[in-house]
Each structure stands twice: as C-alpha cells, then as structure tokens.
Chain A
Amino acid sequence: MTDIRLTAVSKSYGRRRVLNAISLEAGAGLLGLLGPNGAGKTTLLRILATVAEADSGGVHLLGQDAADPLPRVDIRRGLGYVPQETGFPSGFTAFEYVDYVAILKEMTDRRTRHDEVRRVLAVMGLSQVARRRIRRLSGGMKRRLVIAQALLGNPRLLVLDEPTVSLDPEQRLRFRDTISALAEDRCVVVSTHQTEDVAAFCPRVVVLHEGQVRFDGAPRQLADAATGRVWIADRRDPGARLAWRTGDGPLRQVGTPPPGARLVQPLLEDGYLLLVDAAEPSAEVTNR
C-alpha cells in the first residue's frame, strides 16, 4: 500500500520557492531524507505531517487527500510527528507532556491513555524520569520525549524531523533499533544530517536539494555514484573538491583523482557530498 503519494508538490514562502514540483511515493519501510540546510526537508515533512499545506500539487497520505479537512483529520489519527524544533509548556512533567498530547490524539479514557503514555515512555527508555519536570531533563531525554509522543497510538505513518539531534551514540543506536522495528509494518520518514544514520538503517534514501529531489534510491547506489572519485593521499591534490585528514593520517579526498591515485571504497557521505557539491561550486573554495 502507498502511504505517501506526492504529486508535483510546490511550496513558497513569499518569493522564495522552497519546494519545486516534488513527486514522491512511499509505502511501509524506512525512508531517509538527506539534504543541506535550506533544502526544503522541514517544509516537506511539515506537509507530510499536515501542519503546512502545499501551494500546488497533490498530497495523499494513508490513502486520503490531505487537502480535504475531514480526511485530513483521519490522516492525523494515523500520524506520528516529531518536529525539528519544539518546546515544552513550563511546569509539565515528562508524563504530563505525553499525556497532554495523548488527549489531543483523542485518547479520552484516562486509564487506557495513561497505559499508552507509560508504554511509549518505556519504549524510549524514559520510565524512570516520567515524574520528573521537563526542565530538569537532559537535551537527549527531551528529544526522546518528543519521539515518545509521536509513538502514541501506534501510528501508521511516522514523520521524524532530525530525531537524533541531541542523542548520544548509545541513544542513537537504540533509536535505530526502535525505528527499524517500527518500519517493518509502517511507513517511517526520517530527515537527518547524519549520513551514517541513513547508511546504517535506511534501505531507501532521498536527497533533497534546492527544493528538488536530486536522488532517490538505495544508500549503496548513492555511495556507488562516487566510485572512482574518492582516494587517499598524503597531500591535497588539485582535483579534490573536498579533503579531510583521516584518523590514520592520510587525507581522504573526494573529487577528480590524479592518475595513479589510491582509490578507496566510497561511502554514502562521499556520494552525497558530490551530489550536493556539484550544485554549489563555491563549496570547493570554502572547504579548502
């Protein structure tokens, strides 16, 4: 079943066109959304979360038209959303915050709602701090709290905007584990700047740049796009668009290798950098 069907979706803020005729389909599984700042990722995810409306184009989510008010409510009933940035009402405990969102998700029976709140807090490893004021939680805990509210009611569509920000390495691994399990029977869209996250647990990656889809495929395909374009050397070569010193000492370089260069296996981030960098020649100068 197709849970997301976008057809030529465009969105502008003032004169600035943020999304330009985006078309995208997705069903059950994990879809990683990559792109530089300002690429339109957050706008796209806000449209998928029905928080923002497209200026033009079709947005069908969970089989319903998101432009119609009544179907939109039904879509929201099957939706979990983690915004890129969100705050918390002062004075709430972790439990009270998730309980407040649970009411907004139409869970009216108190006992059932509270059981569900405890469940999602447990999934995100927050049971021990359920009664703690949010202002006393760490940044990582607050982020997990926002993810917890998105899991309320076992939604069929999860839209997560940079969910791993503020999470420490262990928490990120646990998050991957949780989300991978959830994605087995539902559609999960994850926006991130962390290419290693996408490489690790997303079978499909979409690269958004300047409001357009620049790549849509498997992470391995994106990495393979950089085959023959990544090499290591002791000094920076003139053909390198980007170069950085590795932990072993030599410079890892991405660009046009010199003859006889020691080519290495490209990673997802190499393919991504080349894809995005190709659209911005100035990056070569800024990264030298």
Chain B
Amino acid sequence: MTDWHADDALLSAYAQGRLDRARAASVEQHLAGCALCRGGIASHADPALLARAWVDVVDVLDRPRQSAFERVLIALGLSTHAARLATGASAARRAWVAGCMLVAAFAIVARYTDGRATIWFLTVAPLVPLTGVALAYGPGAFPMYDVVAAAPYPRIRLVLLRCLPVLPMTALLLVVGGVVLPGTAQAALWLLPGLALAVLGLAVERFVGARTSIIGLAGLWISAVTAARVSTGSVLSAFSPAVQVLSLVIVIVAVTAAVIGAGRTRRLL
C-alpha cells in the first residue's frame, strides 16, 4: 500500500498515451493496485477507444474455439472460414469417424481371412464414404439442411469441404494398419474410388435426393465390381489404374469447379 496517488494531469497524460514507456509502465503498475486512481482515470478515458477495446474483448470471448483438426487445416492453407465449414458440424464428424473405424475393422478382418473377405471389403469399402457423406448431410440427417440449402455458399465447394475430414482419418487408419498388420496397406486401393463416389454422391443428391443418390451410385459401383470379377476373375480389376485415374479425374474436376466457384465470389478455399 502507498499513500501516493497519481494526480489528474498524470492520469490524463497516461490515458491519452502521452507518457514515455517507463512512466506509463509505472502508472500502469500503480493503477493495478489502486482503486482510487482507477476511478480517477475514468473521466480521462476516450469513450470511443473504450468502446472499441470492449468490443475487441467481447470478440475474443465470442470467437468459436478451433478444434485440433481445424487448426491443422488452417496450417495447411485453408482459410479460417472454410476450415470452420469443413469441421464445424460435429454430427457429420462422428458419422465419418464411425465409417472410418468400420472400414479399418473390415480391412483387418480381410487380412485374416485368406483373401476371401477382401472381395467383399473392396466392394463395400468405397461405398462407406459415399453413404457417410450422403447420410450425414442429407435432409432428415443433417440438422441444418434447410438453412444450408437456402444459403448462397457454392455447393460444390461445400461438398469438397465436407469430404475433407475423411482423408486424414482414413489415411491415418490405413498407415497405422499397414504398420501393425503388414499387407493391410493394399486396402488403400479403395480410397480414391471411395472419395470420387462421395463427391459424385453429394453432387447428385442435390438433384435426386440422398436416398436415390446412394442407392443409384451404390448399385452402379456394385455392378461394376461384379462385372469386373466375372470378366477377369478378379475383383482387383475394378481398382485398375484406369479406374484410379478416372476417380482422380472426378476429384480434380470437383476441385476445379470449386476453385472456379471460389473465383466467382472472389474467395479461395
């Protein structure tokens, strides 16, 4: 405690930023412990400056907390708002995690069944992201569907952002699986067709609805895998380099459309 108090002139000079650093720091330290002087400085403070400072404080408090995944996406170059859209809806995130865990479990089972389950695994696994995306974001499943549908945000960009969470999760699971269980990495063949089906599914869902989109694309995929197996005797031909390239083209076209859409609204992903 001290009996010394800052006089009006000193408080005024401090409030208006006219003190040098050393004296300002000294006054600041005194103010922190002296209620009387804190009360005295109020009349010298610029109300507009105080209002701006208060809004700044409130903004920091209001600011949505970023998840670890959201921070990773931002570090990789995604804008903060796009990262928010990609990771904000936790219901969809849970659907992804569940889908990926299912695929990983399937891969492990396939590893231990002498290849017989691999046929089923490779047939079904690409459909998991498709159904995951469509179910997580379709009407009746995504709680904000109508609100999102009425917003101007480019749909194709939203589709891609929604697909983002599946990539690190599945890649991580497959890498871990490959390390723990040698041979599991082969299961990664499904990843690109799976992503392409998911992108197509969300794009088509806009026109025919989630159910028709899932059933239609799932039917097409299963037919293609069956035809490949019948004609070549191996399900792996459905994952040939040509199919992988086609899948890559679909994904690249979607990315290009998203970038063009971003250009139209003068924003990037």
Q: Which residues of A contact B (CB under 8 A)?
A: 46, 49-51, 73-74, 76-77, 79, 81, 83, 86-93, 95-96, 99-101, 103-106, 108, 110-111, 113-115, 117-118, 130-131, 146, 149
Given A76-B150, A87-B143: A100 touches B88 (CB 8 Å cut-off) = yes
Structural contact, A149 and B62, CB atoms closer than 8 A: no
| CB neighbors of A among B43-100 (8 A) | 55, 58-59, 61-64, 79-81, 84-85, 88-92
A53 (CB) vs chain B CBs: closest residue:
B207
Q: Which residues of A contact B61 (CB under 8 A)?
A: 131
- A51, A77, A90, A108: the one contacting B152 at CB < 8 Å is A77
Q: Which residues of B contact A108 (CB under 8 A)?
A: 79, 81, 267
Chosen A-B contacts, 22 in total, with CB atoms closer than 8 Å, are A46-B146, A49-B146, A51-B150, A76-B151, A76-B152, A77-B152, A81-B146, A81-B147, A83-B147, A86-B143, A86-B146, A87-B143, A90-B90, A92-B90, A101-B144, A103-B84, A103-B153, A105-B151, A105-B153, A110-B80, A111-B59, A146-B147
A88 (CB) vs chain B CBs: closest residue:
B143
Structural contact, B88 and A89, CB atoms closer than 8 A: yes
A76 (CB) vs chain B CBs: closest residue:
B152
B85 (CB) vs chain A CBs: closest residue:
A103
Structural contact, B152 and A95, CB atoms closer than 8 A: no
Give Cα A262 to B77, complex, Å. 76
| CB neighbors of A among B148-185 (8 A) | 148-154, 158
Structural contact, B152 and A105, CB atoms closer than 8 A: yes
Q: Which residues of B contact A (CB under 8 A)?
A: 55, 58-59, 61-64, 79-81, 84-85, 88-92, 143-154, 158, 265, 267
Structural contact, A106 and B150, CB atoms closer than 8 A: no
Give the most central of A76, A87, A104, A113: most B CB within 10 Å. Answer: A104
Structural contact, B146 and A110, CB atoms closer than 8 A: no
Given A106-B153, A108-B267, A114-B59: A89 touches B64 (CB 8 Å cut-off) = no
Give Cα A254 to B59, complex, Å. 56
Give Cα A283 to B135, complex, Å. 40
Q: Which residues of A contact B85 (CB under 8 A)?
A: 100, 103-104
Given A46-B146, A87-B144, A89-B144: A106 touches B62 (CB 8 Å cut-off) = no
Q: Which residues of B contact A81 (CB under 8 A)?
A: 146-147, 150
Structural contact, A89 and B153, CB atoms closer than 8 A: no
Give Cα A50 to B92, complex, Å. 24
- A99, A115, A118: the one contacting B64 at CB < 8 Å is A99
Taking the closest CB of chain A, its distance from the CB of B96, in whole angstroms, is 14
- B84, B91, B150, B153: the one contacting A49 at CB < 8 Å is B150
Taking the closest CB of chain A, its distance from the CB of B190, in whole angstroms, is 28
Structural contact, B90 and A106, CB atoms closer than 8 A: no
Structural contact, A103 and B81, CB atoms closer than 8 A: yes
Q: Which residues of A contact B84 (CB under 8 A)?
A: 99-100, 103
Structural contact, A95 and B62, CB atoms closer than 8 A: yes
Structural contact, B64 and A96, CB atoms closer than 8 A: yes
Structural contact, B91 and A89, CB atoms closer than 8 A: yes
Give the most central of B62, B143, B148: most A CB within 10 Å. Answer: B62
Q: Which residues of A contact B92 (CB under 8 A)?
A: 89
Give Cα A108 to B84, complex, Å. 11
Q: Which residues of B contact A118 (CB under 8 A)?
A: 58, 62
Give Cα A118 to B149, complex, Å. 23
Q: Which residues of A contact B63 (CB under 8 A)?
A: 114
Taking the closest CB of chain A, its distance from the CB of B126, in whole angstroms, is 27
Given A86-B144, A95-B62, A118-B62: A110 touches B81 (CB 8 Å cut-off) = yes
Q: Which residues of B contact A111 (CB under 8 A)?
A: 59
Give the most central of A74, A81, A83, A103: most B CB within 10 Å. Answer: A103
Structural contact, A91 and B267, CB atoms closer than 8 A: no
Give the most central of B59, B145, B147: most A CB within 10 Å. Answer: B147
